[in-house]
Amino acid sequence: MPARRNRDPPTPIEREHRAMAAEKATPHLLVIDDCTLTCHLLTALLTAEGYRVTTAHDGTSGLAAARHHSYDLAIVDLHLPDLSGIEVAGLLQPEVPFLALTIDRSPEAVQACIDKGVLSYLVKPLDAESFLRQVQVALERGREQRNLRRVLRDNHIINKALGVLMGYFQRSEEQAFQSLMAYASTHNERAFRVAGRILEAIEQMGGSKNATRRGNGAGRTARDQAREARAFLDKFRV
């Protein structure tokens, strides 16, 4: 057998890309609790399990963190100094799944969490093993919810594009679907991206008509875009 070639060591850029990919694959958790000791304990517990953790000590700073970064799960105390944890949950979701921490065992508090779609309700003091198990379950449910929202969003875009093709070419829904999928397969594109381009093409054609009626200098550019849009749509004329 021929000797195996030693692979060249990765370049600095390759190492950086690998590190970024690994970081992106590691769940990033946001802990919001006004108790500094609780934040430290949860951070130590979660980082030991391989999670990335960001902490905030009130609802306002927690929401600010969520606006600037993407988190896989928020772990939030219900009794914060500025906003209630329930308010924070309503503002974070559905983008960030939510796990509640509290000392309140009342049925009213539990029902309020259920009404806001909280994934789990944990009462302090926490048992480390049970807490980590609940975090893992919440992350899995959060992934399922994100995947479902993505499917629903993609289906909505595809259905709108099918309606465009049906009206533009006077085709049945099945014919429109087949032409869209054939284009996606031939050009190695995802169906929802092709659907998005179809919707953009129709919008550009409408923009050309509006610019022409106004008679402004943008009319020629808009007409050029409309010609390109029509040429793109003609590719679906089966």
The domain spans of the chain are 14-146, 154-234
pLDDT for 1 equals: 47
Match domain 14-146 to its CATH number in 3.40.50.2300, 3.90.1150.10, 3.60.10.10, 3.40.30.10: 3.40.50.2300
CB atoms within 10 A of CB 109: 19
Q: How far is CA 134 from the centre of its chain?
A: 22
Tell me if the pTM is above 0.85.
Answer: no
Provide the 8-state DSSP code for 81.
Answer: S
95 three-state secondary structure: coil
Sign of CA dihedral 51, 56, 57, 59: negative
Q: So what's the pLDDT on residue 181? A: 87
* C-alpha torsion sign, points 108, 42, 129, 120: positive
Give the per-residue pLDDT at 130. Answer: 93
Burial of residue 182 (number of CB atoms within 10 Å: 0-12, 13-18, 19+): middle
Q: Which residue has the tokens 């049925």?
A: 107
CB contact at 8 A, 78 and 106? no
Output the pLDDT for position 92: 87
**Chain mean position to CA 90:** 17
Amino acid 22: pLDDT: 45
pLDDT tens track of the chain, all 238 residues? 445 555 566 555 555 445 444 445 799 999 999 999 999 999 999 999 999 999 999 999 999 999 999 999 999 999 999 999 889 988 887 778 889 998 888 888 888 887 777 888 888 889 999 999 999 999 998 888 888 778 878 888 889 999 999 998 888 888 888 888 888 888 888 888 899 999 999 988 875 555 545 455 555 677 888 888 889 998 898 6
- CA-CA distance, 181 to 183, in Å (whole number)? 5
Structure tokens at 50: 């391989």
Residue linked to tokens 């914060």: 80
Contact status, residue 77 vs residue 113, Cβ threshold 8 Å? no
User: What was the pLDDT predicted at 19?
Assistant: 46
